[in-house]
Amino acid sequence: MKFGVIIFPGSNCDHDAYWTIREVAQQPVTFLWHESHDLQNCDAIIVPGGFAFGDYLRTGAIAKFSPVMESVRRFADGGGLVLGICNGFQILCESGLLPGALMRNTGLKYICKPVRVRVENSDTPFTNACRQGDVLTIPIGHMEGNYFCDDETLNELRREHRIVFRYSTSSGEITDSANPNGSLDNIAGICNAGGNVVGMMPHPERASEAELGGIDGMKIFQSMVGALAGR
């Protein structure tokens, strides 16, 4: 199996994701340049966090036009695994690979801190190493993490069990106080209808080694490795 990590101008978590895959998960990984259509025969793609193109127009709005994203769309349509983290989640929404949008945080402040997220769906290639209801501690670092969609889309996400993570208390309660950014329905991560594309605002690569303060995020990458090994 082989992972690919996309590099956009302004990405600042690409090397973190690369390190986690190579050194912690110990899997082959390569960087993918945003101007290239070539996904280099990768089996999973990570769209990392950062500030793609400086977020000068709107988060993810310029990155969606990158040649690599055309290939990612085709890859996802064919069932390939795609994980968007933070800015990567925003890019996936802008690209139409996931529904909804990420807006400015309530309070209009950048937030960088560990949060708790409850696993709502453990039956995905990204969460199969978890149990439904597990509470993971994973850091966030964003200004536009306030997930929003219309009522029809929200009902569809709920009905199809496509809400993968919700912000929660340490005991797993879904409360307003546990919601760091005002996200609709405490949503921290969702998947597409096929379950092979996930976007999440928390940074699992920042919680993949004990030296970083926790290893809960590693469960996301372990799940992906397990899913690919089972194919």
User: Which domains, from first to last, does the chain contain?
Assistant: 3-229 (3.40.50.880)
DSSP string, 25-69: S---EEEEETT----TT-SEEEE--B-GGGGSSSTTTTGGGSHHH
Which one from 94, 120, 144, 205 is the annotated catalytic residue?
A: 205
Q: Which two tokens stand for residue 135?
A: 């509470």
Rounded Cα–Cα distance for residues 42 and 227 (Å): 14
Which one from 13, 42, 86, 149 is the annotated catalytic residue?
A: 86
- pTM exceeding 0.95: yes
Question: Would residue 130 show up in a list of annotated catalytic residues for this protein?
Answer: no
Question: Would residue 142 show up in a list of annotated catalytic residues for this protein?
Answer: no
| Tens digits of residue pLDDT in 19-76 | 999 999 999 999 999 999 999 999 999 999 999 988 777 788 899 999 999 999 999 9
pLDDT at 136: 98
pLDDT at 60: 86
Rounded Cα–Cα distance for residues 137 and 214 (Å): 7
pLDDT at 59: 80
Question: Would residue 93 show up in a list of annotated catalytic residues for this protein?
Answer: no
Which one from 142, 149, 191, 203 is the annotated catalytic residue?
A: 203
Which residue numbers in the chain have pLDDT < 50? Answer: none
pLDDT at 61: 87
